[in-house]
Structure 1
Amino acid sequence: MKPIHKSAAARVEVNRAGELEAFVQVVDRGGFSAAARHLGLTPSAISKLVARLEARLSVQLVHRSTRKLQLTAEGQLFYERGLRVLADLDEAERCVGAGAAPRGRVSINASIPFGHRLLLPLVPRLLEAYPELQVDVVLTDRVVDLMEERCDIAIRWGKLPPSDLVGRLLGHTAQAIVGSPDYLARHGAPTTVEELARHNRLGSTYRRNVPDWPLVVDGRAVAMPVVGSARASDGAALRLLALEGVGLARLSVYHVLPDLRAGRLVPVMEAFNPHELEPLHAVYLGRPGRLPARVRAVLDFLAANADFEGADRVPAPAS
């Protein structure tokens, strides 16, 4: 017997569900013509599907005659098992299809500051809205590979580089140079670039960090090197250093908005702030129209509930 070519075998495997559906409908409808009308195929196509199924199984499933169709013993057994297989297939499609209720585990990655400020406060409401979801929250300032680390969604700030990732915009945040009232009382609030150069400027060891602070002087872009006595790996740690009066830090307004409103941190050098907005995205792999219901539900929830009100500008110092 001539062996089946690998690609041909693959085509046969792909059509197994179609063969089974055709066979079950022939039995349920009492004939090939009725099954063809139900499935929107020709009687000849239905006959070929059932014949191919019998050839693959090397057994006759139905006795054909001009007057009636009768199942063989093997056909009756295969029909009963086939009904269960098709029911399981329908259930599987309902579970993962576009109209499925969100259920299952969703892995979400975020930087430590955005995780604490944005993501974690939303988790209780997310799980209340979708009780059949389970959420894995992974906070790290390392940029993860979503495919390699089996991560469904990542929260990322800044402009997205070209990649296979799709981004869902969550909001924008301004940036500000800030210091604590205690630090400013001891060292004075800088009002010129020359004065800023004499201050302790706290830096970041984050790999995407820009080593200079952007300023605008007389309409020209100026880069202020970040030189100071301390650095930190993430914005949350820089915020704590600034709150403790160690030095000045340039931070996302979104991270420090409550501190600015309460007067725990004070913005400085606002006359030189370029007022550039940083976007924040929820990124994911795949096409928007083919997302699992569990991932789509989380993306929609984040987009609807991420609160960036007031983060797109630097508030005036608290009185």
Structure 2
Amino acid sequence: MARHEINRSGEMEVFVRVVEHGGFSAAARASRMTPSAVSKLVARLEARLGSRLVTRSTRRLELTPEGCAFYERAARILADMEEAERSAGAGERPVGRVRISTSASYGVHVLAPILPDFLSEHPGVSLDIVQTDTVVDLLAERTDVAIRAGELKSSSLLARRLGDTAKLIVAAPAYLARAGTPQRAAELEAHLRLGFSYERAVEGWPLREDGREILLPAAGRVQASDGEALRRLALAGVGLARLAAFTVREDIAAGRLVPVLEALNPGDRESFHAVHPGSGGPLPARVRALIDFLAERGRVS
């Protein structure tokens, strides 16, 4: 078949429907085609690509690794095409849904308070917010923007810096009244230190005492999957937690939490970025609007 006769977008659309509807028959109904026509189209696509994309059986359809990769790229290309048509029809006004992945702490303390203004400024944009402190695969999860804390690893993702924040060890007055207030690093051994339940770039609490750098592991007795959960545990008097300053500033001002061992704070800061896949082309208007808004209003300190 000549190159110019291949309807690549049509092939992608049918293949994506096969995956998302779980089979040829369901995809055929959605595409207003016969099951045999859908099966032949996928077979031609596999022959042209030189890779098997699906494993067929009488019970279910399974994707090969090549099929998974092709589906992820095809779904994103089709979404970009749809957004391009929407943008052209709307005169480049931001229109459509943006899927954003954010840490719970950023979501609660930074994103939520400014969302009413964003939605008011961009009535054509809808948001799908996923809160998790773990790093997600943006392409696999079909995520448009992710808020990430810490230094970024080299990748194909593009990033917009959202500032940085200090880290503080804090505890509730009730916990300190019960367990005592530590004055030296060694005294932390007797305290319950709340930690994260997933791997982090720095596994422990860095301290500086008597000119020496110390990395003290967080105790494993109580762990949580995100910083906001650790903050709530600290507020409840469960133990000590080392958290981003922007998440506990109001608690400290209100006396709900107390900074501990500030004299030993090494002064390290945690950076925040809004990251998105880099395809080499212009960002969809809906995604660009959100990133620009976060860069202006969603900064941490």
TM-score (norm 1): 0.66
Query: How is 1:1-319 mapped onto 2 (pairs within 5 angstroms)?
Result: 6-7=2-3, 9=5, 95-96=87-88, 100-208=92-200, 210-227=202-219, 229-286=221-278, 290-308=282-300, 311=301
CA-based RMSD: 2.7
The one-letter amino acid paired with 1:259 is D
1:122: how far off? Answer: 2.0
Question: Contact between 1:179 and 1:265, CA under 8 Å: does it hold in 2?
Answer: yes
Question: Contact between 2:147 and 2:272, CA under 8 Å: does it hold in 1?
Answer: yes
1-structure distance, mates of 2:281, 2:210: 48
Aligned pairs, number: 229
Question: Contact between 1:98 and 1:290, CA under 8 Å: does it hold in 2?
Answer: no
1:306: how far off? Answer: 1.4
2-structure distance, mates of 1:164, 1:107: 19
- Alignment deviations for residues 205-225 of structure 1 (CA, whole Å, 9 cap, x no partner): 023264321111222211112
1-structure distance, mates of 2:196, 2:202: 8
5+ residue gaps in structure 1? 14-88, 312-319
The one-letter amino acid paired with 1:197 is E
Match of 2:64 in 1: none
2-structure distance, mates of 1:229, 1:106: 38
Identity among equivalent pairs (%): 50
2-structure distance, mates of 1:155, 1:93: 27
1:307: how far off? Answer: 4.6
- Alignment deviations for residues 186-240 of structure 1 (CA, whole Å, 9 cap, x no partner): 2221111122222111121023264321111222211112225311111111111
1:274: how far off? Answer: 0.8
The one-letter amino acid paired with 1:115 is G
2-structure distance, mates of 1:146, 1:94: 22
TM-score (norm 2): 0.69
User: Cα distance 1:307–1:9, how it changes in 2: closer, same or farther (>3 A)?
Assistant: closer
Deviates more, 1:95-104 or 1:126-135: 95-104
- Alignment deviations for residues 134-179 of structure 1 (CA, whole Å, 9 cap, x no partner): 1111112332111111111001100000111111011111101111
The one-letter amino acid paired with 1:174 is A
Match of 2:58 in 1: none
SS in 2 for 1:226: coil
5+ residue gaps in structure 2? 9-80
SS in 2 for 1:148: coil
Question: Contact between 2:86 and 2:95, CA under 8 Å: does it hold in 1?
Answer: no
User: Cα distance 1:228–1:136, how it changes in 2: closer, same or farther (>3 A)?
Assistant: closer
User: Cα distance 1:9–1:180, how it changes in 2: closer, same or farther (>3 A)?
Assistant: same
Structure label with greater radius of gyration: 1
2-structure distance, mates of 1:147, 1:98: 26
The one-letter amino acid paired with 1:101 is R
The one-letter amino acid paired with 1:118 is V
1-structure distance, mates of 2:259, 2:124: 44
